[in-house]
Structure 1
Amino acid sequence: MTGDRPAPGGDGERRAGGRTPGEDGPSRSPAPRRGDPPGPSAHWDGLAVVEEGDGPGVLWLHGYTMSAEIWPPLWRRLPGYRHVAVDLPWHGRSRPLRAGEDRAALADLLVRRALHDSVRHVVALSFGTVVALEMALRHPHAFTSWTFAAPSYAGGPQDPAIERHYLDLALLHRRTGSRGRTAELWMSCRPIFGGVAARPAVRSALAAVIGRHAWDELGGTGMRPLLEPRQPVTRLCAVTAPLLVLVGDGEIPAHHACARTIAAAAPGGVLHVLPGTGHLALLEEPRAALEIVDAHLARAGFRGSAGPGQVSR
Structure 2
Amino acid sequence: MVMNTWNALHDRISLTYDEAGTGDGPPLVLLHAYPQCREMWAPQLVALSGGPGGGRRVLAPDLFGFGGSPVPDGGWTVDTAADALADFLDGIGITVPVVLGGLSMGGYVALAFARHYPSQLAGLILADTKGGADTAEVKAGRNKSIELVRDQRAGAVIDQMIPRLLGATTHAKRPEVVTAVRQMGAAQSIDGVAAALVALRDRPDATPNLASINVPTLVIVGAEDVLTPPDVARELAAAIPGAKLEVVPAAGHLSNLEAPDEFNAIVQRFLTTV
TM tier, shorter chain? 0.7 to 0.9
Cα pair 1:251 1:279 within 8 Å, conserved = yes
**Counterpart check, 1:70 vs 2:43:** no
* CA distance 1:180–1:138, shift in 2 (3 Å): closer
Partner of 1:173 in structure 2? 149
Question: Is 1:224 aligned with 2:198?
Answer: yes
Larger Rg: 1
The Cα shift of 1:71 comes to 1.3
In 2: Cα distance, 1:269 partner to 1:150 partner: 14
Matched, 1:128 2:106: yes
Over aligned residues, Cα RMSD in angstroms? Answer: 2.7
Question: Which residue is 1:107 aligned to?
Answer: 82
**Count, aligned residues:** 257
The answer to which structure has the higher helix fraction is 2
What is the TM-score normalised by the length of structure 1? Answer: 0.72
Runs of 4+ with >6 A deviation:
162-165
1:1-313 aligned at under 5 Å gives the runs: 40-45=3-8, 46-55=14-23, 56=25, 57-78=27-48, 79=50, 80-99=55-74, 101-114=76-89, 116-118=93-95, 120-155=98-133, 166=142, 169-175=145-151, 177-187=152-162, 190-195=163-168, 196-198=170-172, 199-217=174-192, 223-252=197-226, 254-300=228-274
Q: Give 5+ residue unaligned stretches, structure 1.
A: 1-37, 301-313
The 3 A distance-change label for structure 1 pair 194 and 255 is closer
Amino acid at match of 1:48: T
% identical aligned pairs: 26
**How far is the alpha carbon of 1:61 from its aligned partner?**
0.2
C-alpha separation between the residues in 2 aligned to 1:286 and 1:100? 32
**Secondary structure of the corresponding residue to residue 121 of structure 2:** coil
Higher relative contact order (CA 8 A, sep 6+): 1
Secondary structure of the corresponding residue to residue 65 of structure 2 = coil
Deviation at 1:167, TM superposition (A): 5.6
CA deviation profile, 1:99-146 (whole Å, cap 9, x unmatched): 274322221221243254246111111111000010112222321111
Residues 60 and 85, structure 1, Cα contact 8 Å, conserved in 2: yes
The one-character-per-residue Cα deviations of 1:240-275 (angstroms, maximum 9, x if unpaired) are 111000012222264434423321222131111122
Q: Which runs of 5+ in 2 are unaligned?
A: 9-13
Deviations 1:123-180 (A, max 9, x none): 111111000010112222321111011012351568x6x77765654444333x3444
Q: Distance in 2 between matches of 1:179 and 1:139?
A: 32
Distance in structure 2 (CA, Å) of the matches to 1:154 and 1:223: 16
Tell me the distance in 2 between the aligned counterparts of 1:169 and 1:253.
Answer: 16
User: How high is the TM-score relative to the length of structure 2?
Assistant: 0.81
- Between the aligned partners of 1:284 and 1:150, the Cα distance in structure 2 is 12
